[in-house]
Structure 1
Amino acid sequence: MALAAFNQQSIKTFNINNDLMHNTDLIHLNQLPLSQTKPFQWTMKRIMDVTLSLMAIIALAPLFLLLTILIKIDSKGSAVFKQKRVGINKKEFYMYKFRSMVNDAEEKFEQVKEYNQTNPIMFKASNDPRITKVGKFIRRYSLDELPQLFNVLKGEMSLVGPRPPLLRELKEYKSWHYVRFQTIPGLTGMWQVSGRANIIDFDAVVNLDYKYIKNWNILMDIGIILKTIPVVINGNGAA
């Protein structure tokens, strides 16, 4: 039922909203966060986040341990790293990930800018030399994102929502891009289930986020979660 409802909703969700793209003052947008516009469903979203993230952490504990060992064997450095991101209402927080790159990847960012295959806001490079052997595998199946279940449990993220940007990315934002901060960032979302490997335009990503925020309900979240499962298993749409 939830998946059917999501599929019906997605017919209008994946269309680019030209009015949004060309509006620079956002007068027509509701600037209130979803927690205020839909308080009951927002509470249900939080209950679902806590329940499912806790169950997943317990069930996947052996996998967490295995990945930690493999990452440590493969390259020097900690298995998990934290990175400052921007969430709902532009609040900063530290997002957790399994390390898929060399330990000094952040310091080497300026050296690999030329590998970027997208626009300045989105960095995506299939031949990024910083990615380790184990990192290549865990990125394909999105296993590097699993530690964000703890961010979900802490209330900094949700299972579903826009991906939280890096601080440096905000310098490239257009005014209408800030609509993304009306909701809590997510582990998965519209971009992931739409084939993110083929979406390299940030305006298109934000339009998906905007449509999600505009049409959001709890069934939409459930539908996205269900669609995420085969995407992860098949390694489709990996960054």
Structure 2
Amino acid sequence: MSSGNPRNVLNILNKIYELLSFEGKSFYSQESIDIETQTKAINQAAKYFAEEDSNYGSLSDKAKKAMFKFAAYLATARYALNIPESSPLAASFKDEDLNREAKEVYNLAVEFSLIQEMPDPRSDRNSKQLHKLIKLNPMLSPLWNLPVVYRGDLTLNADILNAIFDPENTSFDEHLNRVKRKWNSIHIDQLDTNLKQNVGSTAKLPEQGKLPF
């Protein structure tokens, strides 16, 4: 979760220390720290990282807005009925798809460690072209109940990419609602066909809105 950053480790330990002190317990005792305290500390550390530890004025504000959009996109994927990738914390895209304004904000998000660039690029499964691979800083994962490690990555096309990072682009909600519908749709016609094949072609399915008994 700390990504090997000592500052993040100290942030988490500091929150644990504060919670234990509030409860009248010693941080230095030999007793194990209970899960509830650890969970509270991690959530508080994540909130501190998002609100205070990366607060550098208007530039960081732009980066944070982009980070919030990116995280919302990842969370939408994770909690979808038809989850597009397991443990979605990362995304890949073509670097040239970023317009100039989006590129500036993207670089700020990386500079402020809100988003992390992965050392190895992602090879597109179709074109074999190398794509940039990024992930949300795991320190922020608790704010959206996202994983702290990733397995798969989402592919961002130019439209959604610039909707996330271009501060003048106002189409993000439209794109997010579109993928919500896509990832949460249930294909009733296909479901009916599969059911008929399983129970027999002569079986009659209940009408929509009616109980089968």
- Give the TM-score normalised by the residue count of structure 1: 0.26
Structure with the larger RCO, 1 or 2 (CA within 8 Å, 6+ apart): 1
Q: Which has the larger Rg?
A: 2
Q: Which has the higher helix share?
A: 1
TM-score by length of 2: 0.28
